[in-house]
Amino acid sequence: MNLLRKILFTTLLLVFAAVLGLYFSGNMHLLKAIKNTYLVGKTGPTIDDYHKFINRTVEANQPKPLSSYTEPPEVYLTPEEENLFKKWETSAFVILKDGKMLFEKYWDNYSDESLTNSFSMAKSFTCLCIGAAIKEGKVKSTNQLISSFLPEYKGSGIRIKHLLQMSSGIDFGESYGDPFGFMAKAYYGTAVYNLTLSKKSTKPPGVEWKYQGGNTLLLSFIVERATGKSLSSYFADNFWQPIGAKNDALWTLDKKEGKERSYCCFYSNARDFAKIGQLILDSGKVQGSELIGLDYFKASFSPVNLPDEFGDTVNHYGYQWWLSNYNGTSFRYARGILGQYIVIVPEWRVVFVRLGKKRDPTRNAVIPSDLLEYFQIVERMNSLI
């Protein structure tokens, strides 16, 4: 019995020492990571994480149903295509043609109302909010110094455009595999504002493109300061409700009444995500009404044309949106780390959304190979119209 007590006491002492070590080293986020991820058999964030965090509701109070074809074409998946979707553990796939539902399917008990994580598609939503704030005159322009809203960056020369283009010169760190890094602390931690503003410039702004979620967090803080509203509320008022989203969405917070994790963690369903895509297909308008100005819209989808850290010119990124082409057909898209896609193909008048749990694991891929596979399917279905 005495031996058992000694073992128990020693174990508790070690746990207490470990917790103290995490506290004083600024790594308390690891406790949440261990509890919510590793102890439940996961190796990282999942598409179903919203119940593990505090969330702010993005209200949808003006639902508009998606149109259907009066004589729907016979659209189907071949056995090979079905296997492809299963290979990448797809949860949802939706195609809109001219704003009408062309195809829709769900897997593994997910449905048209399932809330799943957008991951980095949320960066594109934050970009839209900056556009709305400029249209309302609450932000002067993309050339405005961020120190107008965040005095901590006075003298840095960083402008809103630099954040939008991922060229701020601030090295936040973007490694999802580093449990002590910025992204882990931002995802599991409770002080995302202080964490983000603790990072300072290491290079002049506007000279190098480097994809980092910290830029998007700074954009969200600017939206809050400029509008006096939370990011969720502002996005709901200016986009989620005007596009006619059917369901409330959720945006994960770092703590109660805290800050949105604006670089990720917007939870919704494929149909409502598709309505965001339709907004982009319609040049930022809903029924002819501009939600963002045309100049900002065009700039959002213009290549940054800056070198990356390897010296290669980046022409596949705009303002928090990705740009590419499929067999010569240009498209723009929002994307998330596990294969979340909202894809807009203006030439085809098509929007498609894919949600799921896996993506081509190739790091720094300009266009993931799985997305090209989905394009082949969409191209075939589009030809049926």
pLDDT score recorded for residue 181: 79
- Using one digit for the tens of pLDDT, what is the confidence trace for 349-379? 999 999 999 999 887 788 999 999 999 999 9
Q: Is the pLDDT of residue 32 over 90?
A: no
Tell me the one-letter amino acid at 177: G
DSSP 293-313: -HHHHHHHTS---EE-TTS-E
Q: What confidence category does residue 7 fall into, taking pLDDT thresholds of 50, 70 and 90?
A: low
Q: What pLDDT, on the 0 to 100 scale, is given for residue 42?
A: 52
355 versus 11: the higher-pLDDT residue is 355
pLDDT of 27 above 70: no
User: Tens digits of per-residue pLDDT, 45-60?
Assistant: 899 999 999 999 999 9
| Residue 376 and residue 85 in contact, taking contact as beta carbons nearer than 8 Å | no
pLDDT at residue 175, rounded to an integer: 65
Give Cβ neighbours of residue 38 (< 8 Å, ≥ 6 apart): none
pLDDT score of 5: 54
Between CA 114 and CA 270 the distance in angstroms is: 8
Summarize pLDDT for 242-266 with one digit per residue, the tens: 999 999 999 999 999 999 999 999 9
DSSP characters over 243-312: TT-SS-EEEEBSSTT--B-TTS-EEE-HHHHHHHHHHHHTTTEETTEESS-HHHHHHHTS---EE-TTS-
Of the chain, the end-to-end C-alpha distance in Å amounts to 77
pLDDT of amino acid 9: 45
Q: Stretch 133-156: mean pLDDT, rounded? A: 97
At 14, is the pLDDT very low, low, confident or very high (cuts 50, 70, 90)? very low
Q: How far apart, in whole angstroms, are the C-alpha atoms of residue 125 and residue 129?
A: 7
**Using one digit for the tens of pLDDT, what is the confidence trace for 86-107?**
999 999 999 999 999 999 999 9
Q: 152 versus 384: which is more confidently predicted?
A: 152
Cα–Cα dist 140/302, whole Å? 20
Q: What is the pLDDT of residue 13?
A: 45
Q: pLDDT for 210-231, tens place per residue? A: 999 999 999 999 999 999 999 9
Predicted local confidence at residue 1, as pLDDT:
54
What number is the average pLDDT over the span 113-137? 98
Write down the pLDDT at residue 40.
Answer: 46
Q: Which of 8-17, 113-122, 300-309, 373-382 has the lowest mean pLDDT?
A: 8-17
Return the pLDDT at 201: 92
Q: What is the pLDDT of residue 3?
A: 54
Instruction: Report pLDDT for 4.
Output: 53
Per-residue exposure over 181-208, b if at least 16 CB sit within 10 Å of its own CB, e if not: ebbbbbbbbbbbbebbbebebeeebbeb
- DSSP 8-state class, residue 151: G
Q: What is the mean pLDDT of the chain?
A: 90
Dist CA 9 CA 5 (whole Å): 6
* 311 closest CA partner among 158, 173, 209: 209
